[in-house]
Structure 1
Amino acid sequence: MKAEDLFHLGIVTETFEQTRDELSSLFGYEWGPEVGGPIDVTLPSGDATVDLRCAYSVTAPRVEIIRAVPQSTLWDASRGQGIHHVGYWSDDVAADSAELARHGYVTEATRLGSDGIPFFSFQRSPWGFRIELVSRTAKTGLEQCWATPVAREAEVGAKS
């Protein structure tokens, strides 16, 4: 794990559009498309399917806005909103997760890739700092999320 592998800050919010629009208005952020859907994850309480939806900023430094998932523990915004996690690329999610565990981090959620190898993992430090490790194999696909800004008018028209 290296500092230069940091690639985004994640924000979980119950007010997705408002948060996105405020970051655009105040800081000039432009956004890629909203992506996601139901995914299978493993939580401390067991396996679960969560409807995880997000948008990444096209503008750097990269920000990810995630729609709150009620009662999912990890993505439930009722505990407060703000910076939810810091996302890092990982060449070996399992090994990096084990290294964080040796430093007292607790695994909050994991997802396996189609090859059965960990695809992402959320780890929380004893003092509350949360890290998301994302397999570097996802980089090409995720880069599509911030390749081109989505025209706000087209997005609004599609929802009508």
Structure 2
Amino acid sequence: MKAEDMFHVGIVTDDLETTRSQLSELLRYEWGPEIAAPIEVDLAGGSATVEITCAYSTTTPRLEVIRSVPGTFWESVGGSGIHHVGYWSDDVGADAAELERLGYMTEATRRAPDGSPFFAFMRSDKGIRMELVTRAAEPSLRQCWADRS
């Protein structure tokens, strides 16, 4: 993992639309389409299907605003706040193992259709949360913030 692999900061909020609007008004952020889909994830308590709704900024530095999902670690605590820092990973499994070696715990993982690790959310004992996303997903995820003009 390298600092230059960081590609977004994730914000979890109870009100996705208002949060995007405030960031647009205050910092002139512009947004890609809202994305909503159920995803299969492995959590500490077992496998689950979680309905994720989010939008990425087309403006950089890139933000991902995620609608709170009660009962999961995607739940908004105290309204809205920075949830994670997202990094591209050439080997999610190896990078997650390295973070575990450094004391991070795995909060959620998802597998790609071929069974390889697609993403992993890792949290340190100091509360720092990282999302490792396979670099193989970069071309498709870039569509979430592509210029549509």
Q: What SS does structure 1 have at the residue aligned with 2:29?
A: coil
Please identify which structure carries the higher helix content: 1
Runs of 5+ consecutive residues of structure 2 not aligned to the other structure: none
Structure 1 portions without partners, runs of 5+: 151-160
Residue 112 (structure 2) pairs with residue 113 (structure 1): yes
Aligned to 1:98: 97
**Partner Cα separation in structure 1 for residue 148 and residue 8 of structure 2:** 17
Tell me the SS of whatever aligns to 1:142. helix
Per-residue CA distance 1:40-84 (angstroms, 9 max, x = gap): 000000000000111000000000000111112x10113553110
* SS of residue in 1 equivalent to 2:143: helix
Partner AA of 1:84 in structure 2: H
Return 132-141 or 76-85, whichever deviates more. Answer: 76-85
- State the TM-score, normalizing by the size of structure 2: 0.97
Structure of greater Rg: 1
RMSD: 1.2
Q: TM-score, normalised by structure 1?
A: 0.90
Q: Is the 8 A contact 2:84 2:130 kept in 1?
A: yes
Moved over 4 A (4+): none
Amino acid in the other structure paired with 1:137? A
- 2:62 match: 62
1:9 partnered with 2:9: yes
1:15-44 deviation per Cα after TM superposition (whole angstroms, max 9, x unaligned):
110000000000000000011310100000
CA separation in 2, counterparts of 1:149 and 1:16? 21
Matched positions, count: 149
